[in-house]
Amino acid sequence: MKIRYVKYRKISRVKWDALIRRSPQALFYGLSVVYDTMCKRWDALVMGDYEAVMPLPKRKKFGVVSYIFQPYFVQQSGIYAKTEVDKETIRRFVNSIPKKFVRVHCHFNYENDLQGIKEDWVVNKRRSYQIDLNKDYESIRTHYTKDCLKNLRKLEEANVLITNNIKTDLVIDIYKSAYGKLNPGISNAKYQRFALLVNLLEKQNMVEKAAVYQKETLLACGIFIKAFGRIHYCLGAPTEEGRKLGATHLLIDSMIKKFSNQPLFFDFEGSELPNVAAFYKKFGPEENYFQTLEKGLV
């Protein structure tokens, strides 16, 4: 089947989302609302009558140089199809990226294997962590480290309360206070786009929020997206008081406990930062990988 380049306004959102929802590669990142919200413009590669698709978030530098980028808060993109995607299909899609894009930086999804696809392009592996929740909570908890369990006991003794009644803007503000300096590339406009996306996904019952309080003092909070068999830990952080108590341990544990014994994976969304990776490993997750593809410089 032919792969064609489709401009932003001519992409059928109905056919696109119908494909994503039944794709073996399905992740919430693939939904059209994600790109409509997180990008000013995006085009796409489409095989046949939406038998397979690949989003192309695009920008221009200096107003003339076109390139494909990976939007903030969108961990994975790549190819989504009605069936498994083989190497030849991936190669055809990559070769179909228009030459006008002098630089390409794209994160492909878990099910896209890029090894050997294009020798002159750079392929890297990115680590992610996940927990199979389809077992009882106590079984999952046996894989927690001693330090993790110690922090959870300390929090239990501190009379903390867990609630899902917290506003998205407050979670983002706490995150910016805790980690904003580590992510200088995330502008206020990008945070606002993410807040809008969360609001839109909430209307589709895909959002879970959690907050840890000690009396009226907020200790930690987070936003999780639940879709297509995964719970993604998209954004979360402790307050200064919560950092001292290790409150993020309980934030994550509460979601694991809530959704245990269900056919789901808890997806930490990984991190290449050693300190963050070490924290995630406290919960005994399995490692998973996705791949990135890059060419050119801007």
My answer on whether 24 and 80 are in the same domain is yes
Letter string b/e over residues 210-228, b meaning 16 or more CB atoms within 10 A of that residue's CB: bbbbbeeebbbbbbbbbbb
E strand or H helix at 244: helix 240-245
Q: Is residue 215 part of a domain?
A: yes
pLDDT band at 60, cuts 50/70/90? confident
C-beta neighbour count of 24 within 10 angstroms: 11
What pLDDT, on the 0 to 100 scale, is given for residue 3?
Answer: 98
For residues 49, 50, 54, 57, the Cα torsion angle rounded to the nearest 10 degrees is 90
pLDDT reading at 224 higher than 50: yes
pLDDT reading at 149 higher than 70: yes
Domain end (from 87, 120, 153): 120
pLDDT reading at 298 higher than 60: no
Task: State the pTM of this model.
Answer: 0.94
Q: Is residue 297 part of a domain?
A: no
Q: Is residue 154 part of a domain?
A: yes
- pLDDT tens digits, one per residue of 3-30: 999 999 999 999 999 999 999 999 999 9
pLDDT reading at 222 higher than 70: yes
Provide CB contacts within 8 A for 273, sequence distance 6+. Answer: 182
My answer on whether 98 and 163 are in the same domain is no
My answer on whether 169 and 116 are in the same domain is no
My answer on whether 106 and 175 are in the same domain is no
My answer on whether 14 and 90 are in the same domain is yes
- pLDDT tens digits, one per residue of 183-219: 888 999 999 999 999 999 999 999 999 999 999 999 9
My answer on whether 48 and 177 are in the same domain is no
Mean pLDDT of the chain: 95
What pLDDT, on the 0 to 100 scale, is given for residue 103?
Answer: 93
Domain end (from 100, 120, 140): 120
Three-state SS string across 129-188, please?
Answer: EEEECCCCHHHHHCCCCHHHHHHHHHHHHCCEEEECCCCHHHHHHHHHHHHHHHCCCCCH
Q: Is residue 276 part of a domain?
A: yes
pLDDT band at 65, cuts 50/70/90? confident
Q: Is residue 296 part of a domain?
A: no
My answer on whether 97 and 154 are in the same domain is no
My answer on whether 136 and 174 are in the same domain is yes
In contact, 202 and 33? CB cutoff 8 Å: no
Mean pLDDT of 33-49: 97
What pLDDT, on the 0 to 100 scale, is given for residue 297?
Answer: 59
pLDDT band at 270, cuts 50/70/90? confident
What pLDDT, on the 0 to 100 scale, is given for residue 273?
Answer: 76
My answer on whether 92 and 54 are in the same domain is yes
pLDDT band at 51, cuts 50/70/90? very high
My answer on whether 116 and 136 are in the same domain is no
What CATH number did the domain enclosing 281 receive? Answer: 3.40.630.30
Residue 249 gets which letter from DSSP? H
Between CA 167 and CA 165 the distance in angstroms is 7
- Rounded to the nearest 5 percent, the helix, strand and coil shares of the chain are 35, 30, 35
My answer on whether 177 and 93 are in the same domain is no
Which of helix, strand or coil describes residue 240? helix
My answer on whether 71 and 136 are in the same domain is no
Which range marks the domain in which residue 150 is found? 129-289
pLDDT band at 126, cuts 50/70/90? very high
Total number of domains in the chain: 2
Domain end (from 120, 155, 171): 120
